[in-house]
A = this chain, B = another copy of it.
Amino acid sequence: MATDFPNSPLDPEAVAQGWLATHGSARKATINDIATLAGVSKKTVSRIINDSPLVKEQTRQDVKRIIELVGYVPDPQARGLAFRHAFLVGMIYDNPNPQYIVNMQQGILNGIAGSDHELVVHPCDRSSPDYVDRARAFIERQKLFGVILTPSVSEDETMARMLRETGCGYVRIASISLDDEAHMLVTHDRHGARLAAEHIATLGHTRIGHITGRKGFRSALERQAGFEEGLAAAGLTLTPNFIVEGDYTFQSGVRATETLLSKRHRPTALFAANDEMAAGALQALRVADLRAPDAISVVGFDDFQIATTVWPRLTTIHSPISDIGERAAQRLLNPDDDAEFDGSALLPTLIVRETSGPPPRS
């Protein structure tokens, strides 16, 4: 079979077989080999690789089949040279939370899977005076296709300006929109915090405390604002007296909770701006011989691993970091495909576990 069809004088399978037999794994195929094998010109192959519409469907399929069978992969270096940019996307981060970074990384990798791109990472230290220049050098040297910025560097306008200057594509991930839509992915922390407030209010608490995130971080503001909004919707208010500043670390959670516990008429529920601090809160409760949720309900934010390794396991707001990374990568790669983007899929959700319950009757 498969010798002389009128419409397809070419038998991809046979042709590919032939090549594999003669050259085998000795040499990697180039675009020239494919062109010769398929009996078309180099340019046609190139068009097919780059999804140009100027190719007949039949030809496209035949050539694609051969490419697949022979195992041809266009050389990223050569392509990069011709395109004047590398097939690399960068992730620029300064967030010290390893779990955040790893989740985000994984999400971005999912997002670029199947796109010829690779992920290259670039941590940066915002306390160093030249972190923007370093980032620029990184981008320009490698001629990155684009970068994804995570909080809190994503909130940095100096960095954003530099990116616009270089002309490199970018997507900023932040809890609030700081740029035009194509360059932003919003995490809706405010919404998440509102869920926490609703949950706590529904349980019947009225004396409610909040441990804020680190000063100067957008997410800290948003989480507090969302929490206050949610309480307000339930007719409650967060008294300034019950707002204690934290900095997203475990230790700050411990200290803040100690402060809250020392108050007269202490709160019966508290919302910490992240799980780390919520874990610190549990710790402080334990030291004070109190138990969550019997004495005080505790709600966190992030739903990182720590939320389930502490005991009791933490009621928290799940933030879909990995999905957000994936979406950010997709937005970076094809900014037009965002039509079918259903933002609601990326909203934080409430995860009720064991640290929240009704207030103690007293």
Contact = CB atoms under 8 A, between A and B. Distances in A.
Interface of A: 28, 73, 75-78, 80-81, 86, 88, 98-99, 101-103, 105-106, 109, 118-121, 123, 137-138, 140-143, 250-251, 276, 279-280, 283, 286-287, 305, 309, 311
A73 B141 contact: yes
Contacts of A76: 86, 141-143
A360 B341 CA distance: 62
Interface of A is mostly: helix
Given A77-B143, A309-B279, A120 B119 contact: yes
A250 B75 CA distance: 44
A331 B188 CA distance: 44
Given A88-B120, A123-B109, A287 B309 contact: no
A123 B106 contact: yes
A109 to B, nearest CB: 7
Nearest to A100: B98
Contacts of A120: 88, 118-121
Given A102-B102, A287-B311, 5 more contacts: A76-B141, A88-B118, A98-B305, A105-B121, A286-B311
Number of copies: 2
Nearest to A309: B250
A130 B81 CA distance: 31
B98 A102 contact: yes
A86 B73 CA distance: 15
Nearest to A144: B118
A140 B81 CA distance: 18
Contacts of A141: 73, 76
Interface centre among A99, A121, A276 (most CB of B within 10 A): A121
Contacts of A77: 77-78, 80-81, 86, 143
Given A73-B141, A78-B81, A121 B119 contact: yes
A106 B98 CA distance: 11
Nearest to A109: B123
A9 to B, nearest CB: 32
A297 to B, nearest CB: 20
